[in-house]
Amino acid sequence: MSGSYFNNVESSMLSQVLNQLPYHYGIKDTHSVFHVANDNLAKLIGYDNGLSMAGIKECDIDSPAAKHAEEFQRQDQLVIKSGKPLKGINISRYDDGLLKILLGQKQAFRDEEGNIIGVSGSTLDLDAFPMLLNSIKPLIFSEPYFKSLRQDDYLFFSLSETHDDVNLTKRETECLYFMLRGRTSKSIAEILCKSIRTIETHTDHIKEKFDCKSKQELVDKAISLGYLYYIPPSLFPDLGFSFG
């Protein structure tokens, strides 16, 4: 589809509706060009209102987040090619220069025939949910992440329902998550309320699925496949909220 998805009247009316949402929201085409956005998103990245964002790319935005446009576009393409939603936690600096922790979801945007013609994105600033923010900080903030954040000013933790590189069970993904953070079998057993023997059995199954002989080899391979930045949804606290 060439040109804008919406004419001026439609864009104005849609923006008014989207401005009622309590979170940031925008729609981009397959080339990651914005077609519509609400004022919440616009102000996050330094624009006066959502209408002024039509026709721009994140790489053109005068905001600290612009330097991560390539990663944002990579996420867009994952959604467009798979047709599946991508949920996650974005940690970055935006127009005010402050570090923000955003819970987000991107999903395919389709035309009337069901063809994917872009991606819609929603993000929620977790500062509005201090109890939730405090509960997830232990999941995402440890010394390695702080070091990475100082260097890159951006982190993305996937919360998607599946991580398809290896076919792990729910409990195996939980064990691997804590294993990658240096937890012992005893510590993982206490966290998951299981016996040490059960955790060790899970570990053996994980090593088999990754075709690894040692735990260190498993850790190295899992990190190379991106599992360090994957949070099993079962470990993430219930927000009691969903994007519309």
The predicted-structure confidence for 174-183, as pLDDT tens digits, reads as follows 999 999 988 9
pLDDT tens profile 155-199:
888 887 656 668 899 999 999 999 998 899 999 999 999 999 999
User: Do 121 and 209 belong to one domain?
Assistant: no
For residues 95 and 44, is the Cβ–Cβ distance under 8 A?
yes
Give the single-character DSSP code of 40. H
Q: CA-CA distance, 145 to 37, in Å (whole number)? A: 31
User: Do 39 and 141 belong to one domain?
Assistant: yes
Which run of H or of E encompasses 145?
A: helix 143-152
Which CATH number does the domain housing residue 190 bear?
Answer: 1.10.10.10
| Whether residue 121 has pLDDT greater than 80 | yes
Q: CA-CA distance, 151 to 184, in Å (whole number)? A: 29
| Whether residue 61 has pLDDT greater than 70 | yes
Q: What is the pTM of this model?
A: 0.80
Which CATH number does the domain housing residue 100 bear?
Answer: 3.30.450.20
Q: CA-CA distance, 80 to 181, in Å (whole number)? A: 32
User: Do 137 and 205 belong to one domain?
Assistant: no
Confidence of residue 244 (pLDDT cuts 50, 70, 90): low
Residue whose entry in the numeric block shows the structure tokens 């467009």: 80
**Sign of CA pseudo-dihedral 92, 56, 86, 124:** positive
User: Do 15 and 91 belong to one domain?
Assistant: yes
Higher-pLDDT residue of 99, 227: 227
Q: CA-CA distance, 195 to 189, in Å (whole number)? A: 6
